[in-house]
Structure 1
Amino acid sequence: MSSDSDDCSAVNNPDTYLHLRIASVFIVLVCATAGTLFPVLARRSKWLHVPKSVFDFAKYFGSGVIIATAFIHLLSPGLEELSSPCLSPGWSEYPYALALCLLSIFSIFIVELIAFRWGTSKLAKLGLRHDPHGHYTGSHAAHGPEGTQTPPKESASDVEEQRHHHHGHSHGELSHLDDSAAAQIVGIAILEFGVLLHSVLIGLTLAVDEGFKILFVVIVFHQTFEGLGLGSRLAFIKLPPQYNYVPILAAIIYGLSTPVGIAVGLGLRSSYNPGSATASIVSGVLDSLSAGILIYTGLVELLAHEFLFNKEMMNSSNGRLVYALGTMLLGCGLMALLGKWA
């Protein structure tokens, strides 16, 4: 009992590999930012002609990475942290990690449902139509295209709007663009929020962990793969010109998240004990909530809307479908394998 108590209160973070730990701030920053920014900038570049197949690979590979991250790198640590022997017995009387994950899933669903209904109402007042899967209003568009979109039928009011379009955007169209952009930005924020919390926490762990070398290599691959998945989603969102900076800003923020966690961990290494009750509760709660966000995003926004609700995918050849599924499973498998070390 006394040994457990010492482990929960003692701070014994090693100073080994201190120079490499400091260098890891910049190495992870470069790898994570490059992995996230490359798809965004490559799609916008006029001279760098990246084949569409590369973007498709990154998109499906990234979907698998995000889903594996939710279960292996977030929910599993959340369960472990909230069942730590350093916590009071009350924490072991209920599966709090699973309950928080469930709370997160339903919270995100309710927020999206309200936003979808609000967006539908706004579009209806403008005389515009949407399809049942939110191609025009929902934040699903924040995660990439879902195939060909059926344009709304032209009514008399639409024809009148098109006539005015030759003299500039109508007020209704501008309002529609603003609403659509806002919905997509919310979608990006939801996805990135779940990823960022996890990235900061693994940065803290890397700064003080004894097995630094293995963890460092794993985290470099982890953040690069996860950044590639996020960047492939950011590259395909369609926003009005005044919001074109949003995907780049989101990519940069993601790239900074883990280095910030490492820097904070290095600054607090003399007083921070990752095994303490407070650290276990904070990490466990954040990991569990983040797991719920990425589970919902991965299964509903990515799997369902990339495959089941995607007319282009449903009508594609068997070969393309197998390729997409195989690429997604590859990303999932590699990220799940990295969970053996981190």
Structure 2
Amino acid sequence: MAALLARDDVNCGSGGGDTGSTGLRIASIFIVLTGSTIGAFFPVLAKRTRWLAPHVPRGIFDFAKYFGSGVIIATAFIHLLDPALSELGSPCLSDAWGVYPYALAIAMGSIFLIFIVELVAFRWGTAKLASIGISADPHGHINPDGATHAAHGPEAGRNMLSDHGIYTDSDPEKGRDSSLNGKKDAEMAVLNASPSSVVDSPATQIIGVAILEFGVLLHSVLIGLTLAVTNDFITLFIVIVFHQMFEGLGVGSRLAYMELPPKYHYVPLIGAFLYGITTPIGIAVGLGVRTTYNPDSETASIVSGILDAFSAGILIYTGLVELLAHEFLFNREMITASNWKLCYALGCMIAGAGIMALLGRWA
């Protein structure tokens, strides 16, 4: 009886959404398109075009990259996982949805699924490299001559220095002789080492960015659909304009830093274009069905909750593994960077996460 009374207090009907502010809702398609496109295309064009790249300081690129990483992580937790919990815990749903944390289970399954996809892609890439005579170590770094390099932390120092004849665990005599070169020579050897990486191959880079885009695009369609039918349109509209621009910076910075052969030069542009148009498409679809679509209905809550939870898992994995771990823990440049640069990068990332989390107060 209590459950039935609770459902009477909420909007679980099959009627349509709000039909007011039609002109502004139509204009929002183009306004959001502009903001999303600027956010996604700016890092790509600033990095890759001759007419813009020379005029953009390196600090701007770093800001966009690290700020965007924070935005992606906050989007996963605040803008996706929390709504998924609310949607799949809606009182409009049957009691069966309340006996288990389905949103968290779906997000967890999504994380493992994306991990398996990347693992298969990595193994495939390793096999392809081996077939052309390039070997790879367990950490993913390769050498055309067959020598392997580790990537992370102290291992990087031991293995890469041994390749330069400075130090190796397995050859104590060389280690003692080369220790005369001093700490500076060792540091220079680390900085001058330039192994390639299996995970930096075109195929695996495209797969990684495609995974990120897939999670973001699912989310973008849903928020566009919601914006078209919501009763609280003005507040949500303002928040989504900033939300899409900041998220676009995150996606665009990933696209800009892809190291692809010339024949794949169009991939970042396609990625930025897809991000720019997805939310406007969602708004347009929402406007077309807003007389019949009710975002609070049982079906809408289930579909939105599942997609939000699935997208949350994708962005959690991407944000923590692909962005944080690879940019800070496994990045030789960041490990050897000055304390000021490290603090700047962390500050940009925290600012991105903080601002995006704050926007979650209204969206």
Q: TM-score, normalised by structure 2?
A: 0.81
Is the counterpart of residue 114 in structure 1 residue 120 in structure 2? yes
Distance 2:37 2:61 in 1: 17
Opposite residue 82 of structure 1, the aligned amino acid is L
Is the counterpart of residue 238 in structure 1 residue 244 in structure 2? no
| Matched residue, 2:42 | 38
| Matched residue, 1:17 | 21
Distance 1:223 1:72 in 2: 14
CA drift at 1:4:
2.5
When residues 222 and 148 of structure 1 are mapped into structure 2, their CA distance, relative to the original with a 3 A threshold, is farther
Distance 1:121 1:27 in 2: 46
Cα RMSD (Å) of the superposition? Answer: 2.0
C-alpha distance after superposition, 1:183-210 (max 9, x if no partner): 2111111000000000000001100111
CA drift at 1:126:
1.3
Is the counterpart of residue 78 in structure 1 residue 78 in structure 2? no
Runs of at least 4 residues off by over 3 Å: 129-137, 147-153
Distance 2:347 2:221 in 1: 30
When residues 133 and 57 of structure 1 are mapped into structure 2, their CA distance, relative to the original with a 3 A threshold, is farther
Question: Aligned match of 1:66 in 66, 72, 75?
Answer: 72
| SS of residue matched to 1:9 | coil
| SS of residue matched to 1:8 | coil
Distance 2:266 2:191 in 1: 25
C-alpha distance after superposition, 1:145-195 (max 9, x if no partner): xx9794469xxxxxxxxxxxxxxxxxxxxxxxxx92222111111000000
- Structure 1: 5+ residue runs without aligned partners? 138-146, 154-178
Is the counterpart of residue 294 in structure 1 residue 315 in structure 2? yes
Is the counterpart of residue 229 in structure 1 residue 233 in structure 2? no
Question: Aligned match of 2:12 in 8, 15, 21?
Answer: 8
Q: Is the 8 A contact 1:130 1:152 kept in 2?
A: no
| Matched residue, 1:247 | 268
Q: Is the 8 A contact 1:11 1:270 kept in 2?
A: yes
Q: Is the 8 A contact 2:69 2:250 kept in 1?
A: yes
Distance 2:78 2:261 in 1: 37
| SS of residue matched to 2:201 | helix
Moved more, 273-282 or 115-124: 115-124
When residues 135 and 62 of structure 1 are mapped into structure 2, their CA distance, relative to the original with a 3 A threshold, is farther
| SS of residue matched to 2:291 | coil
Distance 1:100 1:133 in 2: 29
Opposite residue 80 of structure 1, the aligned amino acid is S
Moved more, 58-67 or 10-19: 10-19
Distance 1:245 1:149 in 2: 31
Q: Is the 8 A contact 1:129 1:152 kept in 2?
A: no
Moved more, 251-260 or 6-15: 6-15
CA drift at 1:130:
3.8
CA drift at 1:3:
6.1
When residues 27 and 136 of structure 1 are mapped into structure 2, their CA distance, relative to the original with a 3 A threshold, is farther
